[in-house]
Amino acid sequence: MEKLAIKGGRPIREKGFPAWPIFDEREEKAILEVLRSGKWWYGERVKEFEEKFAAFQDARYGVSCTNGTAALEISLLSLGIGAGDEVIVPPYTFVATASAVLKVNAIPIFADIQLETGNIDPKDVERKITDKTRAIIPVHFGGFPCDMDALGDIAQKHHLKIIEDACHSWGSKWKGKGTGAIGDCGVFSFQMSKNITAGEGGIILTDNEDIADTAKSYTNCGRGKDKPWYEHYLLGGNYRMTEMQAAILLAQLTRLTGQTEKREENGTYLDERLKEVPGIRIMKRDSRVTKRSYHLYIFRYIEEEFENLPREKFIEALKAEGIPVSSGYPHPLYKNPLFLRKGKGAKYCPVSCPFYGKEIDYARANCQNSERICREAIWLMHPVLLAEKKDMDDIVKGIERVRENLKELL
């Protein structure tokens, strides 16, 4: 057995994985064209990107905006979600999934996830429905689509809206249909860490023309479709995408299909290799997922099967071997200080909103699978999956080396 790198041995990898973002002369040319045109603001390139990205995800309409967080807020407003309404969300996600609900004065209700997928559990969603529930926001976590069949049935039965948080799932498909185009609407982010990026940016997709028109108005200062420029119909804002962002994203879109296929190939290969490693649990595969984007490759670390070596020490040892892993979210969203504020009245609206008519105490939230995955998950970011198969072998070797040398770490 070779000595662990963290104990002075030679690391398995001394070269890095692919850097992010990836760009070439396509982005450079596109930016120069916009720069030299003098038309930098909300024009033909924005329209072109909206149309092309909507088509890429199998949606009829696309409405671009400043970022994924704004896209969530605008989607909620466009569906009429407001003060006192409940919206069911998972707690294992970025804060924007729930904070967007708070921003429209609605109340996030946390439903647990499925441990084997990281996605919201339809059974717990149904348990959390009340007479105030108006919508569900499923998150296609890491790029793995949620069970949209089950969620669709629940939404239809209880007359609920579905807003897909597809901010990890550019290119993913559920039964041949692109994520973000399955529910009433779906949102995507183009922030710097994302699989297609312009530094920032977002988009709302839908097959419903009325939702698209309403969302467009909210993003464009409340202006009406085909109405005079200085007439404003909704309390909107300036959430417009720029021509430079759209130009970069159009260039990025030309390589997204190939990158998605590469990530899926390497993710599948890692699954085959890691499923044989004791103490490692890979995430579930579902035959209804006909295309899978990977924003994250996630596996679970079962501490008891590594002689109770703490996950943090395992991660530290893997990093020393040149494997860039992280532990992800430290706790579910409801344990953030934002959700633990105390008080009553308008000052605390919507966390303790007088329009709600009920009390909400997130300190009592209890989503056991979400708690557990925060203790067990290990993440690899998407650029890692753009490397070659031999590089995936290095990841497996790193995990196996740490396992074989546990006594050095205990």
- For residue 373, the model assigns a pLDDT of 98
From the list 144, 176, 149, 175, the residue with the least C-alpha distance to 162 is 149
CA 130/CA 160 separation, integer angstroms? 11
Could you tell me the CA-to-CA distances from 36 to 31, 33, 246, 247, 319 in Å, in that order?
A: 9, 5, 15, 13, 45
- Reply yes or no on domain 25-252 having CATH 3.40.50.970: no
Q: In the structure, how many helices (H) and strands (E) does the chain have?
A: 12, 14
Residue 207: both structure tokens together: 């097959």
- For residue 169, the model assigns a pLDDT of 98
Does the N-terminal peptide bond of residue 332 adopt cis geometry, omega within 30 degrees of 0?
no
Give φ, ψ of 139 to 5 degrees: -110, 120
Could you tell me the CA-to-CA distances from 264 to 116, 295, 386 in Å, in that order?
A: 18, 10, 9
Per-residue pLDDT 10s for the chain (410 aa) are: 689 999 999 999 999 999 999 999 999 999 999 999 999 999 999 999 999 999 999 999 999 999 999 999 999 999 999 999 999 999 999 999 999 999 999 999 999 999 999 999 999 999 999 999 999 999 999 999 999 999 999 999 999 999 999 999 999 999 999 999 999 999 999 999 999 999 999 999 999 999 999 999 999 999 999 999 999 999 999 999 999 999 999 999 999 999 999 999 999 999 999 999 999 999 999 999 999 999 999 999 999 999 999 999 999 999 999 999 999 999 999 999 999 887 766 677 777 777 888 888 999 999 999 999 999 999 999 999 999 999 999 999 999 999 999 999 98
b/e 122-141 (16+ beta carbons within 10 angstroms → b): bebbbebbeeebbbbbbbbb
Residue 20: both structure tokens together: 């992010």
Residue 190: both structure tokens together: 């183009």
Domain boundaries, the chain: 25-252
